[in-house]
Amino acid sequence: MTQHHHSLYQAKALRAAWISVVVTIILLALKLTAGLMSGSLAMLSLASESALDLFSVLLSLIAVRVSYMPADDDHQYGHGKFDSLVSLFQCIALLGVSVWIFLEGFGRITSPEHHQVTIDGFVFVVLIVSLLLDSWRSYTLHHTGKEAHSKALQTDAMHFLIDGLSNVIVLGGIAVFYFFHIASADSYAALGVSAFVAFLSIKQGKNAVDTLTDRFNSSAEYIEIKKQLEIIDGVLGTKRLRMRRAGPSLFIECGIEINRVLPFASVQYIIGVCEDTIIHSFTDAEINFYPVPIKTSSESAFETIKLIASEYGVLPHNIELARDHANELTLDLHLEFRPHSSFEEAHTLSSKIEERIHHDLPSIKLIVVHLEEERSDELLHTIEKLDVHSEVETTALESLIKSQFKEVRLVKDIELFRNETNSDLKLTSVVELDRTLSLFAAHEVSTLIENTIRKTYPHINRIVIHVEPEGAS
C-alpha cells in the first residue's frame, strides 16, 4: 500500500471515530438519565452498552493510530494486527456485559416485587433518538472500517448496530409494559438484548481471531490474484500463493514460475510487471513475489549445459555436440575455473558437472571436458608496441590473406606487441569480409586466417583477428 493511501484511509478512520465519540457521550448521558429516572433494567442495559461503546471507540482511536504506524525492527510486518487485538478485547468486554444483563434480567423475572419501573414519554423519546443515531453511525463506521480495513471500526459498527436493534427490542418491551402493564416485559426485553449482544460479539470475535491467526477466507481475492498473474507475459504459473490481512494491509506472497534460461534483468522485469498489476487492483497490498525457475520443453541442450555449469560457478565455452558412428551423442566442452584453482579441485568439480549433464541430458553418452584456468585480471601484463616491419612484412601478409580467402575484402590496422613479462609476441589486425556471410561463416574465416598466419610466422605467440562487414565504420 502506498503512503498516500495509508494517510487517506487513516484520516477517514480517525474522523469517523471522533464523530462516534461525540455521539456516544450524548447517548450515554440520555440513556443513563432515562434508566435512573424510570428504573428500567432494559434502559440501564442500553446505558451500559453505551458506556462500553465509549470505551470501545476510544480504544479504536488508539488502534487506528497504531495499526497505521510503519514497520520497524520489532514489527517487520507493521502494526496492523493491533487493530484486530483491540477488536477481540472489545468483543470480550461486550460479551461480559451481555452476561451481566442476562443475570440481572433473570433475577428481576424471578423477583419482580423488588424492582419498580416507571415509564414516561422521555424514555420513548430517548429510545427513538438513540435508534436513529445508532443506525446512522453504524452505517458510517461500517463503510469507513471496511474501506480502511479496520477491524476495530467494524467492531464499533457492529456495537452500534446492536444498540440500534437493542433499542427496538427495548422499545417493544417498554411499550408492552406501559400499555399492557406486564411487569416482566422490561426484563424480557433486557434478556433479548443480552442474547443478541452475545451472538454478535462471538461472531465478530471469531473474525478478529481469524485475522490474528492468519486465517484467510476470501477465496474470491485468491482466485482473482492468481488469474491476473498467470496471464502476464513471461509467467508460466504461480506457486504457493499465500495471503493474510493485518489491519490496513493485505500481505501477498507468491512464487512466480519463469523460464530458467532468461537473463536476470528479464526475470526482474517480469516480477516488476507482476507487482504493478496486483498493486493496481489491490492498492492496500504489501507484495513479496519471488522467481521460481522452470525448465521448459523448448530448452535446448546448449542452454541446459550452460545452466548446469553456471550453478557450479564455472564458465563453459566451445560447447560442441556430435553423433558418433553408433549414432550416439557425444559432447566436448571447455570449462574455465577460478585462477589458482588446484588441478585436483578442478577435476572433482568437473566430474560433478559431468554427472549432472548425464542426469539432465541422458541422451549424451560421452563427455570430454577440457580443463583450463579462467583468465585473471589480478596481474595485468605490460605490452610494448613494435614496428611491424621488424618482424612481419605487412604487404606480404595482406597478400597472403587475400590470396587464400576469397571472402576477404580488406586487411588493415596490423599491429604487433611484445609482452614485457615473457617477451611473447602478439599480432592483431582488422579484416573486412563479405557482408552477406553468416556469423558462423565469418567466425570460421577468422579462425582459418589466424591458423594460416601462425604457420607462416611461428615465432608469433598470439594472433587476434577482428572481422567486420565490408564498409563498416
Alpha carbons 174 and 184: distance in angstroms, whole number:
10
Is residue 447 very low, low, confident or very high in pLDDT (cuts 50, 70, 90)? very high
Residue 376 confidence (pLDDT) above 80:
no
DSSP 162-196: HHHHHHHHHHHHHHHHHHH--TTHHHHHHHHHHHH
Alpha carbons 235 and 133: distance in angstroms, whole number:
52
Residues 90-117: tens digit of each pLDDT = 778 778 877 877 776 676 676 655 445 5
The three cell numbers locating residue 114: 423488588
Residue 38 identity (one-letter amino acid): S
Are the C-beta atoms of residues 38 and 117 closer than 8 Å to each other? yes
- Please return the burial class of 118, using the count of CB atoms within 10 Å of its CB with bins 0-12, 13-18 and 19+: exposed
Long-range contacts of 72-76 (CB under 8 A, 24+ apart): none
* pLDDT for res 257: 96
The three cell numbers locating residue 106: 433473570
CATH number, span 383-469: 3.30.70.1350
Residues 201-243: tens digit of each pLDDT = 787 777 777 767 766 666 788 889 999 999 999 999 999 998 8
Which residues are CB-contacts of 260 (< 8 A; sequence separation ≥ 6)?
293, 294, 295, 296, 299, 307
The three cell numbers locating residue 179: 400499555
Residue 145 confidence (pLDDT) above 70:
no
Residues 296-326: tens digit of each pLDDT = 988 999 999 999 998 898 989 889 999 888 8
For the entire predicted model, the pTM comes to 0.53
- CATH 3.30.70.1350-classified regions of the chain: 219-294, 301-373, 383-469
CATH architecture, domain 219-294: 2-Layer Sandwich (3.30)
Alpha carbons 366 and 136: distance in angstroms, whole number:
81
- CATH 1.20.1510.10-classified regions of the chain: 3-212
Alpha carbons 469 and 281: distance in angstroms, whole number:
51
Superfamily of domain 301-373: Cation efflux protein, cytoplasmic domain (3.30.70.1350)
Alpha carbons 106 and 357: distance in angstroms, whole number:
81
Alpha carbons 452 and 462: distance in angstroms, whole number:
13
Which residues are CB-contacts of 179 (< 8 A; sequence separation ≥ 6)?
none
Sheet holding 364-373, edge to edge: 315-323, 329-337, 364-373
Domain 3-212 has CATH 3.40.50.10540: no
Range in 156-160, 256-260, 360-364 with the lowest mean pLDDT? 156-160
